[in-house]
Amino acid sequence: MAHQLMRSNATTDSKQTLPDKVAIYEWVCALNLHFKDVLLDLERLTTLGIFRSRFQRDSIKTCRAMIEETQAWINFEVTETLQDCEDRDRTRFELIRHPLENKYRDRPSPSTPAAKLRRASKESIR
């Protein structure tokens, strides 16, 4: 994609360039709903029978195909950008999560017999 979308992220100091992802998903959803409305309106006009000549009917079919092609093209471009962003975020959060998980992975639970023994021996030393 020729441009990058802007985003600020409070969890890291990285200089990523994507705006609020939720807003992007909302905008693309709204855009798709508007495409759907336009296509439904074309269908309603067609069912009214106002396009009487074969040329008019073929022209409307061509317009419908152009609208659907444009919708698909926009969706492709947006999802490609979002996929890159989601992949970066997944990797970044994985790098945050792993050390946190590993920090407690091999430690016994405070309620295990071994942990109770360690606590008891530390208390007896004092």
Whole-model pTM: value is: 0.61
Let me know if residue 97 belongs to a domain. Answer: yes
Residues near 80 by beta carbon (within 8 Å), at least 6 away in sequence: 1
Let me know if residue 5 belongs to a domain. Answer: no
CA distance 81 to 70: 17
- pLDDT tens, 87-112? 999 999 999 998 888 888 766 666 66
Let me know if residue 15 belongs to a domain. Answer: no
Residues near 1 by beta carbon (within 8 Å), at least 6 away in sequence: 77, 80, 81
What does pLDDT average to over the chain? 83
Give one word for 49, left, alpha or beta, with left for phi > 0 and alpha for psi -120 to 50. Answer: left
Let me know if residue 7 belongs to a domain. Answer: no
Domain count, the chain: 1
Let me know if residue 110 belongs to a domain. Answer: yes
Let me know if residue 53 belongs to a domain. Answer: yes
Let me know if residue 84 belongs to a domain. Answer: yes
Task: State the residue range of the domain holding 37.
Answer: 21-125
Strand, helix or coil for residue 79: helix
What pLDDT is attached to residue 14?
44
Let me know if residue 14 belongs to a domain. Answer: no
Q: Which amino acid is at 114?
A: A
